[in-house]
Amino acid sequence: MHATLPRGLLRRPIPGTPHADGYGPWPYMWVDCPDDVEAFVAGYGDLVTLALVTRPGFVPPAGRWDAILLKEHYLFDPDQPLPPFSKRTRDHLRRSRGRWTFGTVDTVAERMEMKTLYDHVRRRRQLSGGFFDFPDAHFERLARNPRIVFFGARNADGLAAMACGAMIGERLQLLHIAASDAGLRDEAVYTLMPGIIDLCRHRHLLLMLAGKPDRDGDGIGRFKARWSNRTEPVHLLRIVNRRDIYDQLTAGSAATGFFPAYRQPM
């Protein structure tokens, strides 16, 4: 955390050097406006680079910074209706109704069921790598964090589908959604998601469902589109603070399109 800035960055050491890069810890911190960017550049001038994710909907001024479109993020605006459901979705909702009970999950022990469900989904979808392999400690931190809310769909046998998200002002950013085989077979998610939508309507929260993983085809995109009523762009700002050091570190390196160029994609 910077001495005067209200928000911190993740520092990642650059191997073989005394230097480090900075990463904005999305979704707990994002760039809302140009003044935010200038504050981070000035406040973290010791870091060689900054990789900052923008708030959904904020479009960086053209030519001011090196910005690339990460992806379109799905959102549910409580002031707008959901698009009409297909007959297939309506059938899922009808069959799910009565099988499951929706509610918040409040004990740490039950919240940790998310780890079991998430690992099951990850194996089923063959998702692996730095953005998918979360240790037990990650879920324990979420389970104990008062700003994280957990939801579940359960029956007499226990939880079969869960979601958790970060409460940030009047926004709810979903972090993980997972279901067991039984939850998928018996459509527990069709109790879970309407429950979350109704809660966001009641509390007037903007629900942020993020985008779809690049490695997961169209399935998650269709799922998120079903529960959203608009999309907004999210950009990545690629800022070089220490041009002299950056040029030294990238000298002779083949272009990969990854930022910073001296690192390898995760």
More confident residue, 133 or 86: 86
Condensed to tens digits (0 to 9), the pLDDT of residues 183-220 reads 999 999 999 999 999 999 999 999 999 886 655 556 77
Q: How many residues does the chain have?
A: 266
Residue 107 scores a pLDDT above 60? yes
Instruction: Supply the DSSP string of 133-156, one letter for each residue.
Output: ---HHHHHHHHH-TTEEEEEEEET
Residue 144 scores a pLDDT above 90? yes
Is residue 258 very low, low, confident or very high in pLDDT (cuts 50, 70, 90)?
confident
- The answer to whether 188 and 47 have CB atoms below 8 angstroms apart is no
**82: nearest Cα among 174, 8, 193, 169:** 193
What value does the mean pLDDT take over residues 145-174? 94
Is residue 132 very low, low, confident or very high in pLDDT (cuts 50, 70, 90)?
low
Cα angle for residues 27, 31, 36 (degrees, 5° grid): 140
- Give the separation between CA 23 and CA 29, rounded to whole angstroms: 10
**Residues 6+ away with beta carbon under 8 Å from 107:** none
Condensed to tens digits (0 to 9), the pLDDT of residues 34-90 reads 888 888 888 899 999 999 999 888 888 888 889 999 889 999 999 999 999 999 999
Residue 236 scores a pLDDT above 80? yes
| High-pLDDT (> 70) share of the chain, % | 89
What domains does the chain contain, in order, with CATH numbers? 10-72+233-250 (no CATH), 78-228 (3.40.630.30)
